[in-house]
Structure 1
Amino acid sequence: MSTAPRPRIRPGAVLANAAVAVGCVLFLGGFVLAAILYQPYEVPTDSMAPTVSTGDRVLAHRMGGDEAHRGDVVVFREETWGDVPMLKRVVGVGGDTVACCDDRGRLTVNGRPVDEPYLPGDQPAAPYSFSAEVPEGELFLLGDDRQNSIDSLTRLLGEDSTGTVPAEAVSARVEAIVWPVDRIGMVPGAADFGDLPGGTSPDGPLRPILWAAAAGAVLILGGTAYGPVSRRLRRRRANR
């Protein structure tokens, strides 16, 4: 009794199938991980311009307010601020004294001047002089467009108000703009805050996640292309 010959196992096909399998894990895993760790938001106002502007879609790394560092652009929700998600920059944490301005128009934190290159134009760090002590467990938040932002500085003018927000009101830190297309990119950090005690926040996992998803896409495309390409090459060799 004759038996059918076993199909020849081609190493290239095995590698291609493995590449597709690994690619699917990286590609889909990247999207799942991003959905778990990140929350999309639409920017409601221009108070954080030019860093982010009205209508921008951003990705924010989910975190608690106890993880917020000076310089972070955070998403928070606090009833007395309107009880809707808002974006502002942390310039002071519990125990800090935030003041403005020095002789160069800069913000000072605990007496140390801070350069803020993200401020629009030649705008000073605040529209008027102030000094505020940040209570423990609270955050002092400012918009990047200091002339047109309702923030801790504005609230500081109210009676019996420190202008601060409870750290527990923070739910995420903005890391990237994902829409519109011409503004896609990572939100730049505020490096000058890094010289203060506690430093700035470490980079989030978004970049590695995006690289993993991109590598997965390349492996999937390469693996699926192997079959048609190898068959075409075999036909060419057979026709010679």
Structure 2
Amino acid sequence: MDTEAQHPERDRTSPSDETAGERSRSARVRGAARRGRLPISGRTAALIGAACAVFLLLFSHFVVQPFLIPSTSMQPALQVGDRVLVNKLAYRFGEQPRRGDVVVFDGTGSFVREGPRENPVSAAARWVGSGLGLAEPSDTDFVKRVVGVGGDRVTCCGKGGRVEVNGVPVDEPYLYRGDSPSKVAFDIVVPRGALWVMGDHRAKSRDSRDHLGEPGGGMVPVDKVVGRADWIGWPAGRWQSLAETDAFARVPEPDATRAHARGGRG
């Protein structure tokens, strides 16, 4: 019979070893903190990513939205593949679109007819993609330059083959080189609350001129304007603001034009 006292097996890790391990872990955490690389779990990273995506979507919905340029209609100012940043607050507080502004608008009812409703899932996917500037815009979204505002009389082509607004010929330095102001003759008065818009690459742009004989006459309701294109945000080599134009600086307001005409007849 074994009479030797049985001792329970001791933990092979001594207290001093545990203390050293804790110190080592603390040192690693402090070192990571100093380097700005504290460990983040996968779940935390996913939550942060989701929060950032929601913030970007809300920001693009209410403040600034990226808009992918899909065509050559606004060359040379905008190239295919540019992502412009559309200022959605530009016309929110009583400000109205001005002649020369580059605007993004919903052409439903003016440039395109009402179509069948899109599948809700694909519509949501498109909304997310366009909100982040990753997908092409909807077929009903357009980007053009404002040439006439409510009350303006816009004609083409007048003296020197130029567009005239309220009787004043307009020099348009933003036109695509080699393009004429218009090969389509027109003489229209813009209704109040509407816009007459044209592309800068007139030979490649389907704009208000192409809808003259349709309901609405090519006019875009102001309340269909999404916002003003103020900056090019991508690609990086084209980061810049869209230059304002003084092409319409000499154009009188329509009320002043009519008052002058009445005075002349007297």
| TM superposition score category, shorter chain reference | 0.5 to 0.7
SS where residue 98 of structure 2 aligns? coil
Measured in 2, the distance between the counterparts of 1:127 and 1:161 equals: 21
Corresponding residue for residue 175 of structure 1: 230
* CA offsets 1:133-161 (integer angstroms, 9 cap, x no match): 111111001011111111101111x2454
Q: Tell me whether 1:60 sits opposite 2:86 in the alignment.
A: yes
CA distance in 1, matches of 2:103, 2:84: 11
Counterpart Cα distance in 2 of 1:177 and 1:160: 33
Identical residues among aligned pairs (%):
42
1-structure distance, mates of 2:216, 2:187: 13
TM-aligned CA deviation for residue 67 of structure 1: 1.6
Alignment partners' CA distance in 1, 2:103 and 2:163: 19
Does structure 1 residue 92 correspond to structure 2 residue 148?
A: yes
User: 1:178, CA displacement in angstroms?
Assistant: 1.4
Q: Distance in 2 between matches of 1:108 and 1:128?
A: 14
Q: Which amino acid aligns with 2:147?
A: V
Contact 1:49/1:144, CA 8 A, preserved across alignment: yes
Letter in 2 for 1:184: W
The alignment partner of 1:195 has SS state of: coil
Distance 1:162 1:85 in 2: 18
Root mean square deviation, CA, Å: 2.3
Larger Rg: 2
Secondary structure at 1:191 match in 2: coil
Return the letter of the residue paired with 1:116. E
TM-superposed deviation, 1:185: 1.0
Q: Is the partner of 1:192 in helix, strand or coil?
A: coil
TM-score (norm 1): 0.63
Q: Distance in 2 between matches of 1:128 and 1:171?
A: 27
* Structure 1 residue aligned with 2:74: 48
Which TM-score applies when normalising by structure 2? 0.57
Letter in 1 for 2:63: L
Contact 1:134–1:162 (CA under 8 A) maintained in structure 2:
no
2:64 pairs with one of 29, 38, 41: 38
1:121 paired residue among 168, 177, 186 = 177
Aligned to 1:192: 247
CA 1:163–1:192: 2 relative to 1, 3 Å: same
Q: Give distance in 1, aligned partners of 2:91 and 2:106.
A: 12
Distance 1:184 1:130, change over 3 A: same
Answering whether residue 214 of structure 2 is matched by residue 166 of structure 1, we say: no
On the 8 A contact 2:184/2:209 being kept in 1, the answer is: no
Tell me the distance in 1 between the aligned counterparts of 2:161 and 2:85: 32
Match of 1:28 in 2: none
Runs of 4+ in 1 over 6 A off after TM superposition: none
Partner Cα distance (1:178, 1:159) in 2:
35
- Aligned residue identity for 1:187: L
What 5-or-longer segments of structure 1 have no aligned partner?
1-30, 199-240
Note if contact 1:105-1:125 (Cα within 8 Å) is conserved in structure 2.
yes
Matching of residue 150 in structure 1 with residue 176 in structure 2? no
- The higher relative CO (CA closer than 8 Å, separation ≥ 6) is in 1
State the number of aligned residues. Answer: 166
Query: Secondary structure in 1 aligned to 2:237?
Result: helix
* Aligned-partner SS, 2:248: helix
